[in-house]
Amino acid sequence: MKSCAHTSPAWRCLVSVATAAALLTGCSSPAWRTGNPPPPALNATHGVYRLVQEPEAGYAAILGIIGQARRTLRMTMYELADSAALSALVDAHRRGVDTKIILDAAFHGRQTNTAAYDQLKAAGIDVRWAPAATIFHQKTLTADDTETAIGTANLVAKYYPSSRDAWVLDTDPADIAAITATFDADYATAATGRPAPGVPSPHLIWSPDARAAFLQQLDTAGHSIELTTEELKDRAIVAALTKAAHRGVTCRIVLTANPATVHTVDELTAAGCKTHQYPADRKHLYIHEKMILIDRTVLVIGSQNLSTTSLLENREVSLLLTNQTAKPVIDAVAATFDNDDRQSTP
């Protein structure tokens, strides 16, 4: 998601602070849901993975990771503009938690993040700008090397009430070790340029250079591909979706209407994909989530949009989960996708 003044619909800049604050505790129903049945699931847990679906669940679980930290906090965030999150980070630092933060500085990153950077720096927190030449679109928060939150959302409170997003709270040691090692490398070289490849883990897909992994998953689809994304522009991804539809795979896409995707939507519709769109206005859900379901047995969910920049150039990370590792999580994502698909417009 880009800065409000540049790419977001104007209505998104007008969401009330009071409503956003209520969403932090999960005690408010977003206005766009009025008159609609609740989604099938707000969260799901399986083993080391816990799904938190937004906007319904609120951000208490995410902020809770900060509040529960006792030794270390490592955060990489594309956009940070949430007074509650900032207060929690400052409180963690004051109680002796070793807190390190990387904030995006590319594109409109400095404009969006300068207030947060200045507040954190003034509090004595180790915060660094990511390289100015690389968009750091990753959204992760890791506490005590025991739990990490991997998100599709930025920590921008004014967007909480209206955005379809998700977080996965992850306690898998291999995932945490890889995210921590990647953070440490990025933090040490923040002033230099293009980030090094992310540290491999079986459940993680890192950008830069994530396209091949995404294409591999799409090419394995046997009967269905379902996805949500904010951006749908990468030609290789569009070709893979077209190929899948032509071989008989059911292809369903839910996104918010965007002039930049009109040609792609028309192309995929002609290929046989069913694309449903929400109007880009304050009455409707804004699809900011980035996820792909393959045959309802494999889930890719995280920060990568389906754009060339996101897949090949940015710093990004998504989880790769299967029915063997996280079936209730996959089932909950699928149920919410069905709900959003029903309420959107073909």
Tell me: cis bond preceding 197? Omega within 30 of 0 counts. Answer: no
pLDDT, mean of residues 100-105: 98
Q: What pLDDT sits at residue 38? A: 46
4 within a domain of the structure (yes/no):
no
Tens-place pLDDT, residues 215-240: 999 999 999 999 999 999 999 999 99
Contacts of 161 (CB under 8 A, 6+ apart): 15, 19, 20, 22, 23, 28, 30, 31, 55
Q: What pLDDT sits at residue 146? A: 98
The mean of the pLDDT values for the chain is 91
Residue type, 87: S
- Asked if residue 180 and residue 60 are part of one domain, the reply reads yes
Burial of 140 (0-12, 13-18, 19+ CB in 10 A): buried
Which range has the worst mean pLDDT, 20-29, 59-68, 96-105, 183-192? 20-29
311 within a domain of the structure (yes/no):
yes
Q: Which residue is associated with the tokens 């937004």? A: 54
Contact 9, 159 (CB under 8 A): no
CATH number at residue 247: 3.30.870.10
Q: Show which of 172, 199, 226 is a domain's final residue.
A: 199
339 within a domain of the structure (yes/no):
yes
93 within a domain of the structure (yes/no):
yes
Question: Which domain covers residue 159, as residue numbers?
Answer: 10-199
Neighbours of 273 (CB within 10 A): 21
- Asked if residue 130 and residue 56 are part of one domain, the reply reads yes
- Asked if residue 254 and residue 315 are part of one domain, the reply reads yes
- Asked if residue 212 and residue 191 are part of one domain, the reply reads no
- Asked if residue 214 and residue 146 are part of one domain, the reply reads no
How far from 303 is each of 181, 228, 242, CA to CA, in Å? 18, 12, 23
- Asked if residue 155 and residue 262 are part of one domain, the reply reads no
User: Own/partner pairs for 15-20, CB < 8 Å, 24+ apart?
Assistant: 15/158, 15/159, 15/161, 15/162, 15/282, 17/157, 17/158, 19/161, 20/157, 20/158, 20/159, 20/160, 20/161
Residue type, 327: K
- Asked if residue 81 and residue 148 are part of one domain, the reply reads yes
328 within a domain of the structure (yes/no):
yes
Residue type, 340: D
Q: What pLDDT sits at residue 294? A: 99
Q: Show which of 170, 199, 228 is a domain's final residue.
A: 199
Beta strands in 108-266 (DSSP E): 126-129, 139-143, 147-151, 155-156, 163-170, 204-207, 224-228, 250-256
pLDDT, mean of residues 20-35: 47
Contact 73, 92 (CB under 8 A): yes
- Asked if residue 217 and residue 144 are part of one domain, the reply reads no
Q: What pLDDT sits at residue 192? A: 78
3 within a domain of the structure (yes/no):
no
Q: Rounded CA gap, 195 and 213, in Å? A: 18
2 within a domain of the structure (yes/no):
no
**Count: domains in the chain:** 2
- Asked if residue 119 and residue 19 are part of one domain, the reply reads yes
Tell me: cis bond preceding 37? Omega within 30 of 0 counts. Answer: no
- Asked if residue 151 and residue 232 are part of one domain, the reply reads no
pLDDT higher than 80, residue 21: no
Residue type, 301: I
Contact 277, 265 (CB under 8 A): yes
- Asked if residue 213 and residue 190 are part of one domain, the reply reads no
Q: Rounded CA gap, 322 and 224, in Å? A: 15
302 within a domain of the structure (yes/no):
yes
Q: Rounded CA gap, 256 and 276, in Å? A: 8
- Asked if residue 24 and residue 150 are part of one domain, the reply reads yes
pLDDT, mean of residues 236-252: 99
pLDDT confidence of 18, banded at 50, 70, 90?
Answer: very low
Q: What pLDDT sits at residue 35? A: 41
Q: Show which of 158, 178, 199 is a domain's final residue.
A: 199
